[in-house]
Amino acid sequence: MVLAFVNTEDITIGAGRCRDSTDTIDLVNTGTITVIIDGGTGINKLDTGTESGNTWYAVHVIGGNGKATAGLFSTNAASPTLPTGYTHFRRVGWVYNHSDNNIQNFVQSGNSNLRRCFYLETPNDYTEVLNDASDNSGADVDCSTRLPATADTAIYRFHVTAGTTNVLNVRPGSTDSPVIWASLKDTEDERFLGEMPCGGTKGFYYITYGSGGAQSAITALVMGWTETL
């Protein structure tokens, strides 16, 4: 049941099977389900309300006695409003709807409850969380608008710029963790692309070294995330 981006309003849920959220029945999808975010409410649409920008939408597979397996967008990950006759559901992923009511382009991979989601977007518009930022006292960076609540690992790209012989250190979490995850030196024009645990904090901590015009600076992008469904 891998999710796929179709366009800014539609996604698909691939064939597969899973247990429902209460581990009571199997939900089986033998084909491809298209779910539409701007088509109103009901089966293969929103569960309730109208489309909202700057919003994470849970993607659910739904089923019921005598009902064809279908999809549903909901802002509620744990208790979506089910269409009449549908009694079971299971969340199979997330999509992010931007301020312009366009679904963020993505690629999801994984064929079990372990899923990866990679963003395919213009960095300045959607994935960039820092642009040539400096803080030699250390600072937390909140990435919660780029990562869903259930993400356990973030995929980042860090680039150190400016300065002469100064270093940038990046650490997981939203506090000054004792563990340095990436250490980049600006004279070598270094970049880091990799995973860091994000947990409940949905962010990271960084510190740049140097002073004045010589202080190093960081540009940071959230490239994707992983979760356990």
Residue 57 predicted with pLDDT over 70: yes
- pTM here is 0.90
Q: Which residue has the higher pLDDT, 182 or 52?
A: 52
**Distance (Å) of CA 110 to CA 77, 92, 105, 204, 226:** 20, 11, 17, 25, 10
Summarize pLDDT for 141-156 with one digit per residue, the tens: 999 889 999 999 999 9
Mean pLDDT, to the nearest integer, of 163-175? 74
Q: What are phi and psi of 226, to 5 degrees?
A: -130, 160
pLDDT (0 to 100) of residue 214? 62
CA–CA separation, 32 vs 90, rounded Å?
16
pLDDT (0 to 100) of residue 154? 95
CA–CA separation, 79 vs 98, rounded Å?
23
Q: Which residue has the higher pLDDT, 187 or 27?
A: 27
CA–CA separation, 229 vs 219, rounded Å?
31
CA–CA separation, 7 vs 2, rounded Å?
16
pLDDT (0 to 100) of residue 189? 59
**Distance (Å) of CA 198 to CA 92, 131, 150, 151, 181:** 20, 20, 10, 7, 12
Q: Which residue has the higher pLDDT, 224 or 170?
A: 224
CA–CA separation, 110 vs 91, rounded Å?
14
pLDDT (0 to 100) of residue 58? 98
Contacts of 4 (CB under 8 A, 6+ apart): 11, 12, 14, 107, 108
